[in-house]
């Protein structure tokens, strides 16, 4: 409450100060003469715009140098599609960056060079069909090329995965990730949201009657990372339990919404193991991250998981150590049924003479 009060007080004070400065400027203009004051203001503003251009350019350069080790670099993507996305982003930044720097430099320089002066008259240039055609056609062609890149890459990422691709289901909920791997049959079983029951060891709502799902393996992302195989395509089947989330895989340059009731898919091939990325980045603590890239509630920023990219042999050993969720659920049910049955078995009454005889002995 105190923090809110101070924020409001600061905003009100800032408004009052700005208002008073504006009024003082008006009074000064009246005293000095409106025309003289305007010319002086234009001169000051022209100089400040030139300073802003120089300082701004230096700031951009400084930030890039200072944050060089903390930003993702072009060509460092750890997936096949990620390299294409990097390439597309590079071309986009070259095209838009060239236009941005050219237009902004000219804008601020012209404001300084052609500021109001006594003997200068404005030159009016009403219309030119040639210029209109150039600055309409050229941007349209460039944007068409860039959009085409995006559409082609998008359909590659969301299109049919290779037949040899492994399948992993990723499910988001406030505020965690859960994963499901198919068993030896390579197919995921059916789910039904009304069957979701964590207390019965069925957190994803699997239909136990479906034999395809009886060998599926469930992983809680809060306890274990998502395991992927290097140089092997993986198709992610993405769902959400409650609100819209978004699977963000920054190091793979992948991103896809997780929508309740509407599964989405994307596929890619990891090209670098976690161990290789530790060497490449020089960071022994490096981990691949899966984050939620869609605001989903108060715990959004903590909705993170980790990914391990490893060899096929290491993955096989890890997956072999896991039990299908169906077996775990059935074992828990048998234990619960046995406990319940034992608690309801009637105890035969013991005769009084028998108790006395046992006490004597």
| Residue 89 phi, psi dihedral angles, 5° rounding | -65, -35
Higher pLDDT, 314 or 13: 314
Higher-pLDDT residue of 25 and 264 is: 264
Q: DSSP letters of 177-236? A: EEEEE--TT-----B-GGG-BGGGTBTT-B-TT-GGGTT-EEEETTTSPEEEETTS-EEE
Confidence check: pLDDT of 350 > 60: no
Which of 2-16, 96-110, 124-138, 150-164 has the weakest average pLDDT?
2-16
Q: Record the tokens describing residue 163, joined without a space.
A: 């037949």
- The pLDDT of residue 124 is 80
Is the Cβ–Cβ distance between 111 and 43 less than 8 Å? no
Token digits for 229?
Answer: 């195989």
Tell me phi and psi for residue 150, to 5 degrees.
-60, -45
So what's the pLDDT on residue 70? 73
Residue 295 pLDDT: 93
Biggest CA pair distance of the chain: 130
Instruction: Please say whether the beta carbons of 199 and 216 come within 8 A.
Output: no
Q: By mean pLDDT, which of 245-259, 311-325, 338-352 is the weakest?
A: 338-352
pLDDT at residue number 183 = 92
Decide if pLDDT at 22 tops 90. Answer: no
Task: Measure the CA–CA gap between 162 and 156, rounded to whole angstroms.
Answer: 11
What 8-state DSSP symbol labels residue 173? E
Whether residue 321 has pLDDT greater than 80: yes
Mean pLDDT of 1-23: 80
Task: Label residue 178 by pLDDT band (50, 70, 90).
Answer: very high
Over residues 271-303, the pLDDT tens digits come to 999 999 999 988 899 999 999 999 999 999 999
Quote the pLDDT of residue 357: 44
Looking up tokens 């001169």, which residue turns up? 43
pLDDT at 26: 65
Distances (CA, A) of 342 to 328, 333, 346: 21, 14, 9
Given a contact cutoff of 8 angstroms between Cβ atoms, the answer to whether 255 and 246 are in contact is: yes
**Nearest CA among 241, 237, 244 for reference residue 192:** 241
Express each pLDDT in 64-91 by its tens digit.
888 877 778 888 899 999 999 999 999 9
**Distance between CA atoms of 358 and 38, rounded to whole angstroms?**
115
pLDDT band at 361 (very low <50, low <70, confident <90, very high): very low
Q: How far apart are CA 327 and CA 318, in angstroms?
A: 18
By the 8 A CB rule, do 259 and 237 touch?
no
Instruction: Decide the pairing of beta strands 234-240 and 166-173.
Output: parallel
Stretch 306-321: mean pLDDT, rounded? 95
Backbone φ and ψ for 326, nearest 5 degrees, come out as -60, -45
Gyration radius (Cα) of the chain, Å: 33
Provide the mean pLDDT of the chain. Answer: 87
Dist CA 97 CA 102 (whole Å): 8
Q: Report residue 49 as tokens.
A: 């715009």
Both structure tokens of 357 = 């005889």
- Per-residue pLDDT averaged across 334-346, rounded? 74
* Residue 354 pLDDT greater than 80, yes or no: no
| Per-residue CA distances from 78 to 82, 252, 276, 287 (Å) | 7, 5, 10, 12
Buried b (16+ CB within 10 A) or exposed e, 252-283: bbbbbebbeeeebbbbbbbbbbbeebeeeeee
**What separation in angstroms does the CA of 220 have from each of 53, 250, 270, 287, 330?**
51, 21, 22, 17, 18
């Amino acid at each position: 409450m105190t923090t809110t009060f101070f924020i409001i007080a600061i905003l009100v004070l800032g408004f009052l100060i700005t208002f008073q400065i504006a009024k003082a400027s008006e009074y000064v203009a009246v005293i000095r003469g409106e025309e003289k004051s305007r010319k002086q203001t234009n001169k000051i503003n022209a100089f400040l715009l030139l300073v802003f251009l120089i300082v701004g350019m230096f700031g951009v350069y400084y930030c890039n140098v200072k944050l060089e080790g903390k930003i993702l670099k072009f060509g460092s993507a750890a997936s096949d599609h990620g390299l294409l996305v990097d390439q597309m982003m590079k071309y986009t930044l070259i095209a838009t960056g060239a236009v941005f720097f050219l237009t902004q430099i000219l804008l601020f320089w012209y404001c300084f060079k052609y500021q109001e002066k006594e003997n200068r008259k404005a030159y009016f240039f009403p219309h030119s069909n040639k210029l209109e055609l150039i600055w309409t056609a050229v941007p349209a062609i460039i944007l068409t090329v860039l959009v085409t890149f995006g559409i082609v890459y998008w359909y590659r990422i969301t299109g049919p995965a290779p037949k040899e691709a492994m399948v992993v289901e990723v499910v988001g909920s406030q505020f965690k990730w859960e994963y499901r791997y198919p068993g030896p049959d390579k197919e995921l079983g059916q789910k039904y949201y009304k069957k979701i029951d964590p207390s019965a060891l069925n957190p994803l709502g699997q239909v136990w009657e479906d034999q395809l799902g009886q060998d599926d393996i469930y992983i809680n992302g809060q306890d274990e990372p998502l395991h992927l195989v290097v140089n092997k395509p993986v198709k992610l089947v993405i769902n959400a339990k409650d609100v819209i989330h978004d699977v963000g895989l920054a190091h793979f340059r992948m991103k896809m919404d997780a929508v309740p009731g509407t599964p989405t898919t994307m596929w890619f091939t990891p090209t670098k193991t976690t161990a290789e990325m530790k060497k490449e980045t020089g960071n022994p603590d490096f981990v691949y991250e899966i984050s939620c890239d869609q605001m989903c509630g108060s715990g959004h920023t903590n909705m993170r998981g980790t990914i391990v990219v490893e060899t096929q042999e290491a993955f096989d050993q890890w997956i072999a150590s896991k039990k299908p969720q169906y077996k775990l659920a059935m074992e828990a049910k048998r234990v619960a049924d046995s406990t319940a049955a034992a608690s309801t078995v009637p105890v035969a009454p013991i005769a009084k003479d028998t108790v006395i005889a046992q006490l004597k002995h």
